[in-house]
Amino acid sequence: MLQAVEKPNVLLILVDDLKPVMGCHGDLLAKTPHMDKLSARGMRFDLAYCNQAVCAPSRFTLMLGSHSTSTGLYGLGSHLRKTWPNAVSMPQYFAKHGYRTESLGKVYHIGHGNKGDPESFSVPHFKEKVIEYVDPASKPEGGLTREEAMFQNQPPPPGGMNKLPRGAAFESPDVGDDSYADGRVAAETVERLKAAKQRKEPFFIVAGFARPHLPFSAPKKYWDLYDPEKFELAEHPDLPAGSPKVAQKRGGEIRNYFPVPDKNDRAQITDELARKLIHGYYASTSYVDAQIGKVTDALEQLGLADDTIVVLWGDHGFHLGDLGIWTKHTNYEQANRIPILISAPGVTQPNSSTRQLAESVDIFPTLVELAGLPAPAGPQPIDGVSLVPVLKDPAVRVRDHAFHAYPKSKMGRAIRTERFRLVEWKKPGTPGKSAEIELYDYREDPLETKNLVREKPAEVKRLRAILDRYPEAVGRDGKPVKTAKVDEGSEARQVAVHSKSPKIARRNLRIITESRSHKTGSLPQGVLLAQGGREHGYALHFLPSGRPAFDVRINGKVTRIAGEDPVKNMARLEAKLDAKTMTLSLNGKILVSAKSPGLIPVQPKDPLSVATDTLTNAGDYVVPNSFNGTVLAVRIEGGGKPFVISNLEIGTPEAAGDNKQIMTEEGEAVPRENTGRKGWKKSFIYPRHCFGESVARVPEFVVRSRFRRGIRAIR
């Protein structure tokens, strides 16, 4: 049992384009005995969702524990190490803690300019094909097809990839399993397990299977498992009534395969062809199920099953003609709902299931906790939460919604609760009132036939409030995004939010802020500085009475110390935390000192924010609790070089006098000298702060105090 194993093994099984078309999920047609058996060994998540419904970004979310909107890794050609060179992936993290990490098949997306991530694994990747044909009739023109060329990173011919011929959408030759890549990946994975048994060191093996990704190429015996007459066509083949144009999809990937009408052809997919495609998807799923069975059977035969955590994960779902859509690339249910099966001997109960909402980003922190390792702390944002409490008790809840996104001409960010999904389509950095909204009720309308945004305004308001707790999406591949002007007289506040925050886990802390009130004699109120959220973190803030306070949150519990008297005008607050004592000082004088709750045990996932608390509350107050004055400087010490933001002026609109309030999508104030004396006249690419793990200083051209000249060190 896992409790008796110092370092349990991990077997992570990835399946491309697999939605919950499985017997264990209640699909009466699906022939998936091996995945059903794996489900019976542990827990099935009935409401699991990917974070972006396309291959490469979805796999980045899994491996990094980060939403694509946090990293900017949105595309098939997004390069992990170009955007996040120092990111620590899940297998990298396990390797740092003594594991041998290996990968086989489709793990990271290779193709479309991507070449995987060698840094993640201890040994070279075992690469196999994704697009593969055995029957010569599937490539009647010979040579590479469009999809083969893209997945093999071939340069496009003159005129582009569409000049290459199309391959078949499906084939069913009477051949053995090893004729296709997934059979070879399964065989090699079994050999790796045998070798791991001999080495007697903990392993982290990732086996990635390509089917049921197009083309639906599978041996004939798996097609023969099904009676094609029993496949029903989509009950609702029309787009949702009232859905915005940006959310809709027609054509796409599937039109790169014949006999599907070419994407330049307006012809629709016939019922006969639709039924054949559905048959191919189910046959491919049964084929990959058999390959997974070879791996899980070997795990048992080698005596490794009781010492190995097994996770099965689909990278995203798949439309099979529902809403008139095929494949993925949407924010709708069929593209985003995925299977997650977890077997953790000694932790999960056999045949258990849960309706706890789960995300791909949750797998990283979950496996880390199951292995008894310290919680991951980045440097990339860790957006996932551990599902271990749910694995122990299916009724426990660790989140009340799932988040996912899809970028098109606008960014579509979605909140999925057990009953509803809200999708907000807008360009990052633009006002919320510019958004196009979708709302679907899965209790009343499971087929998403109608956008209910007008019928349920209260639900729209509630779910948008949840979405507003998330930072705006970062730019593609981590690049800056265009910003938007906030109307004069609006309630918008100047805030600063930093995606790369100082390291505070298990460290003595010294936190200093300089601030001033807007009006002589007025009482300050709100957050000066906060890092962390509802689990772990700290906040330096003013109570409504004007009294300064220092809150430390550990495992959800807040410990507070506060001064007895209100503060007026300029204030230099200093807070200290060590294992025994927490102290709060004002202008060099100690106000209060008390017993400490201890050091903050893990790096919080909510980022550092100045003059507000942007996500979940680090202190005992209601977010955002924005500061009603101006923050001038910040310094955080936690060992090593200090984290410094000086030459700063952040607060409410009144602080900037007659300057128009212009902010980046991260909420950072754009000073007047950066926008031109005549105001905001054209698009401006605003630089993101580049905060390191030690000293971080805002460049002078980014923020400049009108009340102080030059940069004055804060000590």
Instruction: List residues with catalytic annotation.
Output: 55, 109
In sequence order, what are the beta bridge partners of 10?
204, 309
Q: In the 8-state DSSP scheme, what is residue 450?
A: B
Residue owning tokens 């903990």:
202
Q: What is the DSSP letter of 447?
A: T
Whether the CB-CB separation of 547 and 564 falls below 8 Å is answered with yes
Q: How far is CA 294 from CA 14, 17, 180, 203, 271, in A?
A: 15, 20, 15, 18, 35
One-letter amino acid of 329: H
Shortest CA distance to 622 belongs to which of 541, 698, 703, 507? 541
Phi, psi of 622 (to 5 degrees): -100, 125
User: Residue 45's beta-bridge partner residues?
Assistant: 340, 354
DSSP H helical ranges for 200-310: 220-223, 271-301
Distance in angstroms (rounded) separating the CA atoms of residues 572 and 134 = 73
The Cα 613–Cα 438 span in angstroms is 28
Closest CA to 344 of 689, 5, 698: 5
Q: Which residues of 33-57 are buried (b: 16+ CB within 10 A; e: fewer)?
A: ebbbbbbebbbbbbbbbbbbbbbbb
Phi and psi at residue 592, in whole multiples of 5°?
A: -160, 145
- Tokens standing for residue 6: 């110092």
Nearest-angstrom CA–CA distance, 685 and 663: 11
5, 330, 348, 353, 569 from 1: Cα distances, Å: 7, 41, 11, 20, 61
- Pairwise CA distance, residues 289 & 225, whole Å: 13
135 with 97: CB under 8 angstroms? no
Tell me the chain's radius of gyration from C-alpha atoms: 27
Where do we find the tokens 């890794």? Answer: 73
